[in-house]
Amino acid sequence: DSGVTQTPKHLITATGQRVTLRCSPRSGDLSVYWYQQSLDQGLQFLIQYYNGEERAKGNILERFSAQQFPDLHSELNLSSLELGDSALYFCASSPQRGSNTGELFFGEGSRLTVL
Amino acid sequence: QKEVEQDPGPLSVPEGAIVSLNCTYSNSAFQYFMWYRQYSRKGPELLMYTYSSGNKEDGRFTAQVDKSSKYISLFIRDSQPSDSATYLCAEYSSASKIIFGSGTRLSIRP
């Protein structure tokens, strides 16, 4: 158990809908990362927050947004969903701003299916 | 060109074999090089990390980095069925982004 909690574990929804994925980082970790994993694209970095502020941005679509709250949990909002958004969404946390050793602690992911 | 390239496999070897997993990268700014292991239906977990060129050993696992050719490898000795997983290489740049390869699916046959 990595200590990172993600909910929901599974989510099935329809095209055009909006969903929110939630992540609670390990106790004491200030950085939260969001990744998308699909069969053909591998693990794609979406966005990173550190202590409530956006730190780095990857290939995150404009239809997606995220935030980190004062209690350090984070939410990833996906809107106007398309079939291609079906994927595993991982949250990871690390203690430092830049994760000096590259060690991220991953949750077990939220599997999103868009029908 | 992707920043990190990794052969997706799948790779199937008999138990006890030596496994070699490889990645190439294009960004010279990468400073740290990692290998993550991901079991089915689980999140990735850090297996090893290295900072400089050369070898780093941890039990049956050896990570090798060649910065001059932008090539990293993971060797698994005396492979076990429990090593069956997807192995992802990852590189870290000073922009705080950790970039993952697409992963190689490894299966160890008993």
Tell me the percentage of chain B whose pLDDT exceeds 90: 59
Is residue B1 pLDDT above 80, yes or no? no
Is residue B96 pLDDT above 80, yes or no? no
Whether residue B29 contacts residue B93, with contact meaning beta carbons closer than 8 Å, is answered with yes
Residue B86: which of A32, A37, A104 has the closest Cα?
A37
Sequence-ordered list of residues with C-beta below 8 angstroms from that of A71, at least 6 positions apart, any chain: none
Q: Give the minimum alpha-carbon distance from A81 to chain B in angstroms, rounded to a whole number.
A: 23
Spell out, as residue ranges, where chain A has pLDDT lower than 50.
Answer: none
Least confident piece of the model among A2-6, A88-92, B10-14, B51-55: B51-55
Contact B34 A103 (CB under 8 A): yes
A47-77 burial, b if ≥16 CB within 10 A, otherwise e?
bbbbeeeebbebebeeebebebeeebebbbe
Contact A45 B88 (CB under 8 A): no
Chain A interface residues facing chain B, Cβ-Cβ under 8 Å? 2, 4, 33, 35, 41-45, 48, 55-56, 58, 90, 92, 97-104, 106-109
B90 token code pair? 């990852």
With bands split at pLDDT 50, 70 and 90, how would you rate the model's confidence at B2?
A: confident
Distance (Å, rounded) from C-alpha A43 to C-alpha A39?
A: 9
> Looking at this protein, which amino acid is placed at residue B107?
S
Is residue B103 less than 8 Å (CB to CB) from chain A?
Answer: yes
Q: Give the minimum alpha-carbon distance from B58 to chain A in angstroms, rounded to a whole number.
A: 16
